[in-house]
Amino acid sequence: MTQPTSIYRALGQTGMHVSRFGLGTMVLGAWGNTDLAECKRIINQALDAGINLVDTADMYGDGQNEEIVGDAIATRRDEVVLCTKFHHPLGDHGDPNRRGNSRRWIMNAVDDSLRRLNVDHIDLYQAHRPDPATDIGETVAALNDLIAAGKIRAWGTSTFPASDLVQAHWSAERLGKAGPHTEQPPYSIFARSAEHEVLPTAQRLGMGVMVWSPLSGGWLTGKYNSGAAPAGSRGQSNPDHFDGDNPHKATAASALADVASQAGHSLTHMALAWATEHPAVTSALIGPRTESQLDDLLAGIDLELDADTLDAIDAIVAPGTDLNPADKGWESPGLAPSQRRRPRF
């Protein structure tokens, strides 16, 4: 099954076009499905369905995920808009120089990712989180040097506040450099704070936007309605991140399931279609752990929602609302007591 050409969208001003849904691969490998043969099949099945955006990160499984992706796309490299990320440390160590967004770490990290992916270039290289310890101009300059060297084609950010996006663009303009070309924020019916500033800012700056966790860690599949995460789910394996006992989400998920049923859709398909409705959003990342999950996600790949359904969703979770503030994905260090209070002597 191949998607029609019209389903592909311009990825900001990169000149690349990507599918309305991209494949997020975080749970393929050590962090989820350890059947490597099935992981490879999942990636290729997604490509067969017309998905051309594949997103990974160096930290996923301490590099294993990049190796899985590289092996799966080895004979199909030209079909793929390949995205990966840097910033977080790999492995359990305390070395401050082996993490972050400094030139020193970027130059090391990109070569490691190229080796694990077994490719000669990365289409989109992303700073996984902000790094307040590094001048953003240094990050901008280093990433543009990678473009000039042919190691990457474009660069972006992930889970950056709007102020940092503006500062990055200002720094790039001042230096005569480019970017960031994209932003990758968390965005779902349950996590809508990006609508306040991040999405409008990205749109004004001409950035492509790929949103992560459009199903809110599984909540928008309906599987947490009982108040307990089912066996094998991310809610069970990562309870600190996936809040399976959140009563506000449970109530909203039940109401949304009714809306989906009345519209003739599954909750999963409705939630995914909703995530691509915002005019600033280029693509939403799906993250299947099994082939059966991918089959279900692909079944709703062409769904578009009518105005009545969108209005009903807004009535349940108001625009700009996060049902759990932790779903923002990054907390500003400016909220720490040491940053909010004058020193006392």
**Half-sphere exposure in the Cβ direction for 237 (13 Å, CA):** 11
User: Secondary structure of 89-151 in the HEC alphabet?
Assistant: CCCCCCCCCCCCCCHHHHHHHHHHHHHHHCCCCEEEEEECCCCCCCCHHHHHHHHHHHHHCCC
Length of the chain: 345
Burial of 79 per CB tally in 10 Å (0-12, 13-18, 19+): middle
Show which residues are catalytic. Answer: 60
From 272, 310, 196, select the one nearest 19 (Cα to Cα).
272
**Alpha carbon of 100 to those of 86, 103, 109, 131, 293: distances in Å?**
8, 9, 10, 6, 34
| Residue 180, preceding peptide bond in cis (omega within 30° of 0) | yes
